[in-house]
Chains A and B, each alone.
Chain A
Amino acid sequence: MSIHSPPIDVQRGTRASRVALWISLAVLLGAASLPWWAPEESAPAWMREFVEIACYFIFAMMWNLLAGYGGMVSIGQQAYFGLGGYAMLMLGNLAGVNPFVAIPIAAIAAAAVAVPVSWVAFRLQGGYFAIGTWVIAEVFRLSFANMPIVGGGSGTSLTALRGIERSTRENLTYGLAVACTVAAIGLVYLFLRSKRGLALLAIRDNEMAAESQGVAVLRMKLAVYVVAAFGAGLAGALYFVGNLRISPNAAFNVNWTAFAIFMVVIGGIGRIEGPIVGALIFWALNKFFSDYGTWYLLGLGLLAIVVTINFKQGLWGWVQERWGLSLFPTRRHLHIKE
């Protein structure tokens, strides 16, 4: 009996993904060149908005990596966000390093701290891991609030950028924000498409089975945790370069994670494009409703509850299922040529 195997091909892209790729590149180019084509008066405002949203987005993307792909739900990622911010500030104010240069260094510092923290945090699982990370973030907050050298509880300003002209500073910040956003997306995308990424998906689906196949689960989890900390630190450092003022309550506020959760849940956990969709929706909601203060936050909370219960795969996931689209495919399809 001869075995006749049809020519098969493992494909990664889908047509929708190719279209989306071109659109994203166009949007990105548009964003990158904004300082040149936008009208004089509104450009700085747009740029500041973009920087802020970029920080939210990068943070959300990292939270998505940690929870959706690493299977670790954390309510304490703001620890690294704040750490990145403070590290950048200390490098700038105290060590005389250019804050823009300090951003990636601060991110690395955050990633480095994540390693010993993981020795404590990984003692817990599931829901208790989530709250445990919150405790750790609180410890960071209280620690920095008790450090007079960075202004203690009331915080301090980023003096290292005082000498630079305002429009230059804003342009540089903006450019850096675009670069960080692209880098973050690229980093996560490439990571997940690689063999390590597949291992991560295997762990997510069934940890014990993956372990029996030789996947070093603990090392992978640590890797994801460190990468997520790096990204959070990057976002934090970037945010406070844009904000110029830091305080423990702003830096280590649990709202950062709350917003990240919101963006990811609305957009869809575990999918790369989820945080993008979520960030856009979040930005739109922010634009129109944030003046309503508490009602706005209340609405966000309700929306997150309703979406979680009714659209288990997030809004984008629901779209994907209904219309079969996938913008950033990391799954591999078996394509049988007729």
Chain B
Amino acid sequence: MLVQGILLGGLYSLFALGLSLMFGVMRLTNTAQGDFIVLGGFAAIAGVATFGLQPALSALLLLPIAFGAGYAMQRFVLNGTLGKDPLPSLVVTFGLSIVIQNGLLETFSADPRSLDTGGLNIQSVSIGGLSLGVLPLLIFAIAVLCTAGLQALFARTALGRAFRAVSDDREIAELMGLKAGHIYALATAIAFVLIAIAGVLQAMRTTVSPSDGPLLLLFAFEAVIIGGMGSFWGTFVGAMVLGLTQQIGFRVDPGWGLWAGHLMFLALLVVRPQGLFPKTRG
């Protein structure tokens, strides 16, 4: 059960990385995060259903599309909402959330759908005496890769430097020749790729339905806060903690799983509001 909680955390961290990235670079809270994840799942499903693609191909093709969509979204819609006031970005992303949910409802109806994994989701493997699902292990591995990749991007590349610089001091970063609007758009583009990955995996692991978005947002958000802002590995660990707590809650009583997660989150907020592994931010 412990392991199940941790593997669940792997998926949650994929939900959360994009949120953490967008907030870290431009202080933008994407309240449509969960809905975009669901959209990603549906897009992959549509690729299979409408264009007859193999599920894996549909998922892979989604990634560059997500990159482009994220770039465009930030450049043309969200860049205009940035500033000292958090309200415009909240209202716009909240509006997007409603648009996506209802758009999906119209296009796909309210039925939960999933992505065909060709049997992968029922395969299991025996490790150390425990029988673990192959898909959850795969998801966990992808989550670790993504977190490590994101961390490396930020710490070791010129783009990562640019991300950190522009979030520290946008004006001076522009003085160095950086175009903030473009950099922000790149950040969101990467976040959307992560969102697409999360959506595809969620559709594989269980089902997606148009109204799932808000719940996924809350999971992502809780993972970020529990882990501490400013740290991708922190978000990863936060997601583990959340997944674990929910599993424990589910074990006690099926109705208490989510409630336990929320309560643990609120308790942590009171006791240690800066999260488990906060990075000091200037």
A and B touching (C-beta < 8 Å)?
A: yes
Is there contact, CB below 8 Å, between A75 and B95? no
**A139 to B264 alpha-carbon distance, docked (Å):** 11
What is the CB-to-nearest-CB distance from B276 to chain A, in angstroms, rounded to a whole number?
14
Range for the number of chain A residues in contact with chain B: 35 or more
Of the candidate stretches B62-70, B85-93, B119-127, B179-187, the one touching chain A is: B85-93
Q: Mark A251-268, 1 if CB is under 8 A from B, else 0.
A: 000100010010001000
Is there contact, CB below 8 Å, between A120 and B90? no
**A302 to B86 alpha-carbon distance, docked (Å):** 19
Q: Which of A120, A123, A302 has the most CB of B within 10 A?
A: A123
Q: Mark A59-96, 1 if CB is under 8 A from B, else 0.
A: 00000000100000101000000000000000000000
Is there contact, CB below 8 Å, between A131 and B218? yes
What is the CB-to-nearest-CB distance from B277 to chain A, in angstroms, rounded to a whole number?
16
Chain A positions 292-335 with a Cβ under 8 Å from a chain B Cβ: 294-295, 297-298, 300-302, 304-305, 308-309, 312
Is there contact, CB below 8 Å, between A139 and B31? no
* B217 is an interface residue with CB less than 8 A from chain A: yes
Is there contact, CB below 8 Å, between B28 and A127? yes
Is there contact, CB below 8 Å, between A130 and B91? no
Is there contact, CB below 8 Å, between A127 and B90? yes
Q: Across the interface, which residues of B come within 8 angstroms of A57, CB to CB?
A: none
* B250 is an interface residue with CB less than 8 A from chain A: no
* B207 is an interface residue with CB less than 8 A from chain A: no
* A248 is an interface residue with CB less than 8 A from chain B: no
* B151 is an interface residue with CB less than 8 A from chain A: no
B266 nearest CB neighbor, chain A only:
A120
Number of A-B contacts defined by CB within 8 Å: 119
Q: Across the interface, which residues of B come within 8 angstroms of A132, CB to CB?
A: 221, 225, 269
* B27 is an interface residue with CB less than 8 A from chain A: yes
* A143 is an interface residue with CB less than 8 A from chain B: yes
Is there contact, CB below 8 Å, between A73 and B88? no
**A75 to B98 alpha-carbon distance, docked (Å):** 13
Q: Across the interface, which residues of A come within 8 angstroms of B255, CB to CB?
A: 145-146
* A97 is an interface residue with CB less than 8 A from chain B: no
What is the CB-to-nearest-CB distance from B249 to chain A, in angstroms, rounded to a whole number?
11
What is the CB-to-nearest-CB distance from B231 to chain A, in angstroms, rounded to a whole number?
15
What is the CB-to-nearest-CB distance from B215 to chain A, in angstroms, rounded to a whole number?
8
Is there contact, CB below 8 Å, between A305 and B99? yes
What is the CB-to-nearest-CB distance from A132 to chain B, in angstroms, rounded to a whole number?
7
* B96 is an interface residue with CB less than 8 A from chain A: yes
What is the CB-to-nearest-CB distance from A337 to chain B, in angstroms, rounded to a whole number?
37
Q: Across the interface, which residues of B come within 8 angstroms of A139, CB to CB?
A: 259, 262-263, 266
Q: Across the interface, which residues of A come within 8 angstroms of B169, CB to CB?
A: none
Q: Across the interface, which residues of B come within 8 angstroms of A127, CB to CB?
A: 23, 27-29, 31, 86, 89-90
* A215 is an interface residue with CB less than 8 A from chain B: no
Chain A positions 2-44 with a Cβ under 8 Å from a chain B Cβ: none
Known A-B contacts A131-B221, A143-B259, A146-B259; the reply to A123 vs B270 at CB < 8 A is: yes
Chain B positions 264-280 with a Cβ under 8 Å from a chain A Cβ: 265-266, 269-270, 273
| Cross-interface CB contact of A135 among B77, B106, B222, cutoff 8 Å | B222
**A294 to B96 alpha-carbon distance, docked (Å):** 14
**A213 to B50 alpha-carbon distance, docked (Å):** 63
| 6 extra interface residue pairs, beta carbon distance < 8 Å, beyond A126-B86, A130-B29, A301-B102 | A130-B31, A139-B262, A297-B102, A298-B98, A301-B96, A308-B91
Provide 16 A-B residue pairs closer than 8 Å at the C-beta atoms, listed in order of the A residue: A73-B90, A123-B269, A126-B86, A130-B86, A130-B90, A135-B265, A139-B262, A139-B263, A142-B258, A146-B255, A265-B91, A298-B98, A304-B92, A305-B77, A305-B92, A305-B99
